Amino acid sequence: MVSKSTYSTFDDLASIYLGDFKKVVQYWDAPTTIISDGPYGIGGFPGDPETPAGLGEWYEPHIKIWSKKSSPVTTLWFWNTELGWATVHPFLEANDWEFVNCHIWNKGKAHIAGNANTKTLRKLPVVTEVCVQYVKKAKFEVDGNQLSMQDWLRYEWQRTGLPLTKTNEACGVKNAATRKYFTKCHLWYFPPADAFEKLSDYANTYGDPSGKPYFSVNGKTPLSKSQWEHMRAKFKCPFGVTNVWDYPPLNGKERLKNGFKALHLNQKPLKLMRLIIEMSSEEGDVIWEPFGGLCSGSVAAYKVGRKSFAAEINEDIYKQAVKRIAHNAMQPTLNF
């Protein structure tokens, strides 16, 4: 067990652990959303390497844990600089994280106001960070091989001995099932749960009796509609939001300070944290913040009814984060 002094929890919803993520993660529930805002390779805080070289190797043990503890419903949001992300991307791919989209946080000119001398600068001022969306690919084991979902659907149908065109009859469509769900090409679509259920029912009714059950992962029962829904990451697309997030750098009341000095240079806006949480999870789902800092992700998660787990290795910052969540927990109606 973790001793009381090394973790704090609020209403059993938000838990913050003092220590290295790799050690404290054993106490965390499985994640629906992971918000990684760790080292950038710019020497930004103690432990952040001075350059992005070696950043991939730094992240690798963390990524392996994310992969092990996640399921196909999990979304990973990876915050970093452009070069930091490019350096870490191959390590994410190698550990089954599939790239979905790159979001640009454009902080605007306010970020460099009065701070950019064009006479000496040798490049344009940078006012962006990226927040990159990845999902955990579903894999299906067949005779010791790992198949992608696209390949597994075809494989299972072929096992039935039925012609592929029968998938259209199963779904009650003219040709959409073969064209969308059973194509080999990049135009493949994930079959919605209703379509999957129809395919599975058809295969298990008319398919070769010796190969039953079809569309099963345990060899005993076909996947149910709700199990199928958990085979891909949650995503709710908000209206009017694109992959460029114009949002000013944190100032004003939200920026936590000690006198005039920011408590943490990397404090993220609650609005952006809320956006990524609400796009990729539902009420009651679990949010991870392995590199907590002031735990902006956990604060946002708390406010929108998610359960969160955060780790922060630096004791002073940990204490500030705990204070922040306690303050927010006492003001449940506070808007942001």
Instruction: Choose the stretch contacting ligand SAM; rule: CB under 6 A; options: 150-158, 190-198, 211-219, 305-313.
Output: 305-313
User: Which own/partner pairs from 63-68 qualify as long-range (CB within 8 Å, at least 24 positions apart)?
Assistant: 63/88, 63/91, 63/92, 63/95, 63/97, 64/95, 65/21, 65/22, 65/25, 66/31, 66/34, 66/36, 66/95, 66/97, 66/288, 66/290, 67/95, 67/96, 67/97, 67/136
229 belongs to the binding site for ligand SAM (CB under 6 A): no
Nearer to ligand SAM (CB atom), residue 47 or residue 161: 47
Nearer to ligand SAM, 231 or 317 (CB): 317
Judged by CB under 6 A, does residue 298 bind ligand SAM? no
Query: How many whole angstroms from its chain centre is CA 27?
Result: 19
314 touches ligand SAM (CB under 6 A): yes
Q: How many residues does the chain have?
A: 336
Restricting to residues 132-171, which ones interact with ligand SAM according to CB under 6 A? none
Per CB under 6 A, 47 contacts ligand SAM: yes
- Select from 45, 189, 206, 336 the one that contacts ligand SAM (CB under 6 A): 45
Pick between residue 301 and residue 311 the one whose CB is nearest to ligand SAM: 311
Beta strands in the chain (DSSP E): 7-10, 14-18, 33-36, 75-80, 97-106, 128-136, 139-142, 145-148, 244-246, 257-258, 261-262, 286-289, 307-312
Among 267, 280, 298, 320, binds ligand SAM (CB under 6 A): 267
Output 75 or 296, the one with its CB closest to ligand SAM.
296
Residue 109 has which token pair?
A: 């000119």
Query: Using CA atoms, how far apart are residues 44 and 262, in angstroms rounded to an integer?
Result: 13
283: Cβ–Cβ under 8 A, 6 or more apart, which residues?
Answer: 304, 305, 306
Which range touches ligand SAM (CB under 6 A), out of 81-89, 111-119, 175-183, 264-272?
264-272
Q: Does 180 bind ligand SAM (CB under 6 A)?
A: no
Q: Which is nearer to ligand SAM, 16 or 73 (CB)?
A: 16
**Contact residue for ligand SAM among 65, 132, 275, 313 (CB under 6 A):** 313
Binding site residues, ligand SAM, CB under 6 A:
20-21, 37-38, 45, 47, 264, 266-268, 291, 293-294, 296, 311-314, 317
